[in-house]
Amino acid sequence: DAGVIQSPRHEVTEMGQEVTLRCKPISGHNSLFWYRQTMMRGLELLIYFNNNVPIDDSGMPEDRFSAKMPNASFSTLKIQPSEPRDSAVYFCASSFGGGQYNEQFFGPGTRLTVL
Amino acid sequence: QQQVKQSPQSLIVQKGGISIINCAYENTAFDYFPWYQQFPGKGPALLIAIRPDVSEKKEGRFTISFNKSAKQFSLHIMDSQPGDSATYFCAASRYSSASKIIFGSGTRLSIRP
């Protein structure tokens, strides 16, 4: 298995532009998580899905952030408009939520820089 | 009550020494305590985990000690090696079909050769 796949790996954009981050979870996993990591705030959970349904989006910082999971093999995190304070590494993780203690498998991350 | 508090923020240990990272939680509903390891430029990866029905779990040089009454748990790395240099996150979650994991703030560990 290729693991969790994220794209792009690096993104540099200007303030005000729309940014879309993509994630392909591990096949067979039914839970997907989006995290943001910064030096100041550490690893923050933004939103997570179970069976393609958003379960908890309380970590989404504001309305500029939105996430979708149209099917079991794809999710997007969109920032519109982007701001310099959104600069961070964004991780996607997936797990098999079959009622077990669920190990989360993280992707390599997308490093976002907003100028 | 959802927080997991982790200390220290950073740690420097000599090669061959013991590295100790501590965590504390408030929510007694937590029943699964994993530790994740993150190398620079990579995503976190599960290192070792414990459930509260045992007080200690050992995997190679890595040991989790768990104190249910104090609501504390710690990671011990014996015979620390330069390759152990990474950021370590403690975490807690509840048994659930879609349980989210609450991560600590992380400890940056450096092992000096």
Q: pLDDT tens digit string along B58-82? A: 999 999 999 999 999 999 999 999 9
Residue A96 pLDDT level (bands cut at 50, 70, 90): confident
Picking from B72, B66, B34, the residue whose alpha carbon sits closest to that of residue B53 is B66
Q: Which residues pair with A112 in a beta bridge?
A: A11, A88
Residues of A in contact with B43 (CB under 8 A): 4, 91, 93, 106-109
> For testing the chain A interface, which of B46, B97, B105 should be mutated: the one with the most A CBs within 10 Å?
B97
CA–CA dist B93, B7 (Å, integer): 19
pLDDT of residue B96: 62
Nearest chain A alpha carbon to B31: A101
CA–CA dist B8, B52 (Å, integer): 23
| A42 contacts B103? CB cut-off 8 A | yes
CA–CA dist B104, A41 (Å, integer): 11
Task: Determine the residue type at A1.
Answer: D
- Decide if pLDDT at A98 tops 80: no
- Decide if pLDDT at A99 tops 90: no
| Contacts for B54-60: CB closer than 8 Å, 24+ residues apart | none
Residue B34 pLDDT level (bands cut at 50, 70, 90): very high
CA–CA dist B6, B77 (Å, integer): 16
| A98 contacts B32? CB cut-off 8 A | no
Neighbour tally for A14: CB within 10 Å: 11
Residue B7 pLDDT level (bands cut at 50, 70, 90): very high
CA–CA dist A55, B81 (Å, integer): 40
CA–CA dist A13, B102 (Å, integer): 30
> What is the rounded average pLDDT of the residues B84-91?
97
Phi, psi (rounded to 5 degrees) for A86: -80, -10
Mean pLDDT, chain A, whole residue set: 93
Residues of B in contact with A48 (CB under 8 A): 98, 100
Mean pLDDT, chain B, whole residue set: 93
B99 touches chain A (CB under 8 A): yes
| A102 contacts B93? CB cut-off 8 A | yes
